[in-house]
Structure 1
Amino acid sequence: MALQKLNIVSKTFSNVNGRLFSLSTTVAKTFREKYRDFWTPKPRFVPPYEHFTQVGDPVLRTEAALVPQELVDSKEVRLVTDRMIKILHKYDCVGVAAPQVGVSLRIIALEFHEGKKEQFSEAVYKARKMSTFPLTVVINPVLKVTDYSLHKHPEGCMSVRGFTAEVERYDSVLLTGLDRKGAPLELKLNGWNARIAQHEMDHLNGKLYIDTMDRATFACTCWQVINNKGGRVEIPFYK
């Protein structure tokens, strides 16, 4: 998994990509391992990141693991959820999944704050069935579709930075899971908030919106600016 070597409790998760979320006490290393570690450059940044992982990173294509019940209210999981909330606000997003901060665990965070209204025209806000939603973290979420009506609207993703496309999503869903303290949660979501939940749940299953998008609508979010600036435009990956 992608929460590499945190060495926190007596349990270890791993995935086929060889990236580890190590929840284990320190294990004695062989001389060869110590020698290899000495000469191997150490990564400057390790998960949970303060930036969004980008498409191509194996963590985004891995099915995330359940958070063990005994760890839901642990300081280690709180570190992950705190980092998720920080990045959600730092980039002014509406949702984030743990794999997007490099951690392959089934955790999502959702929020559609009042200030978001100012970013859309009244017509768009109404057409996309947007509504405010308080910051909510859901651990081990389960999503059930309650209204199979499909709506197609543009979506973007901070893990596919600089692009957008139209995606069909179900109108209403029921989201259940645990809050940060381990208490049961049940959320009835519709419209845009249901779309956010579906988008984030896809991340936990190793999927991206580009897998189900209308390919003819895939576009760079700043194509006009690129033309106006003669191509002298950069897409930032850090704030």
Structure 2
Amino acid sequence: MASPSPRAPLAERVEELLAVGGPLPIVAAGDPVLRTGTERYDGQLGPALLARFVEALRLTMRAAPGVGLAAPQVGVELRIAVIEDPAPVPQEVRLARCRVPQPFRVLVNPAYRPVGSGRVAFFEGCLSVPGWQAVVARPAEVRLTGEDESGRALDEEFGGWPARIVQHETDHLDGLLYLDRAELRSLSANETVARRWAQPTPEEAARALGFGLP
């Protein structure tokens, strides 16, 4: 089936996407929609269509599987993202990365700013850059503002792995990929990460590949 025309109104394009049913196709790096930024959400879809779109994002994220998904990753340049992390990781990884479960939530018009000067670095991947991971240093804590899908204000501080997730997904809405912030000497295929760099922290990878950590 042909992709929705980029010149069609957003609501019409979203209707076309949802008409197919099932998980939505995920846009891969190289598509301009991942680089052009997004429109602030201001009712372009209407409540019913927004609810259907959010449910499609949730289905697509879970099927991938991933812990977050932004609207541009399915070809829709609206400032909307979803996150959810059951955190199914070993205890040592959970402790090193401060990775705690996050319930499903919708971020509408999100923005973040660092809280404090702390930075932490870990391997990070992206559904739009399949097959690869790289180490990204990010603020350890951030303050996230925006709304939820019902228009209620969000103003919350995140730390640890949840802070990384909200930064990654909000970056998508600004036309940024994690590779823009990554230490490129760390770039590794998924199978290499699993075989060589599966430690809770990237310190061994940094020594072997020759890059610095904060």
User: How far off its partner does 1:220 sit?
Assistant: 0.9
Asked if 1 retains the 8 angstrom alpha-carbon contact of 2:134 and 2:182, the reply is: yes
Q: CA RMSD in A?
A: 2.4
- C-alpha contact 2:36 2:174 (8 A) present in aligned 1: yes
Answer yes or no: is the 8 Å Cα contact 1:4–1:22 preserved in 2: no
- The residue type equivalent to 1:20 in the other structure is R
Partner of 2:118: 149
**Cα contact 1:179–1:185 (8 A) shared by 2:** yes
Q: Counterparts of 1:221-236 in structure 2 under 5 Å?
A: 221-223=190-192
Distance of 2:8 and 2:148 partners within structure 1 = 21
Shift of 1:72: 6.8
Equivalent residue number for residue 20 of structure 1: 7
CA spacing shift, 1:148–1:50, aligned 2, 3 Å: same
% identical equivalent positions: 32
Matches within 5 A, 1:200-219: 200-219=169-188
Q: Does 1:65 align with 2:52?
A: no
- Residue 152 of structure 1 and its aligned partner are, at CA, apart by 0.6
219 and 71 in structure 1: CA distance in 2 versus 1, 3 angstrom threshold: same
Report the TM-score when normalising by structure 1.
0.71
Q: Decide whether aligned partners of structure 1 residues 65 and 167 sit closer, same or farther in structure 2, where only a CA change above 3 A counts.
A: same
- Specify which of 126, 129, 141 is matched with residue 160 of structure 1: 129
Provide runs of 4+ in structure 1 moved above 3 Å.
46-49, 70-73
Aligned counterparts of 1:105 and 1:99: Cα–Cα separation in 2: 7
Matched, 1:192 2:161: yes
CA 1:134/1:72 → structure 2, altered by over 3 Å: closer, same or farther? farther
Quote the offset at 1:180 in angstroms: 1.2
CA contact (8 A) 2:11 2:45 kept: no
Mapping of 1:80-159 within 5 angstroms?
80-113=53-86, 116-117=87-88, 120-159=89-128
Alpha-carbon deviation of 1:165? Answer: 0.5
Cα distance in 2 between the residues matched to 1:177 and 1:224: 34
CA contact (8 A) 2:10 2:44 kept: no
Which structure 2 segments of 5+ residues have no match?
195-214
Q: Secondary structure at the residue paired with 2:115? A: strand
The Cα of 1:51 is off from its aligned counterpart by 2.4
**Contact kept? 1:106, 1:139, Cα under 8 Å:** yes
1:75 aligns with 2:44: no
Higher alpha-carbon deviation: 76-85 or 95-104: 76-85
* Mapped contact 1:47–1:103 kept (Cα < 8 A): no
CA, structure 1 residues 23+164, in 2 after alignment: closer, same or farther (shift >3 Å)? Answer: closer
Cα distance between partner residues in 2 of 1:72 and 1:131: 33
Q: Could you say if the C-alpha distance between residues 171 and 223 of structure 1 is closer, same or farther in structure 2, counting changes exceeding 3 Å?
A: closer
Counterpart CA distance in 2 for 1:47 and 1:203 is 20
Greater gyration radius: 1
* TM-score scaled by length of structure 2: 0.79
**2:79 is matched by which residue type in structure 1?**
R
- Name the amino acid aligned to 1:64: T
Gaps of 5+ in 1: 6-18, 26-45, 226-239
Checking the alignment, whether the CA contact within 8 Å between 1:88 and 1:96 is kept in structure 2 is: yes
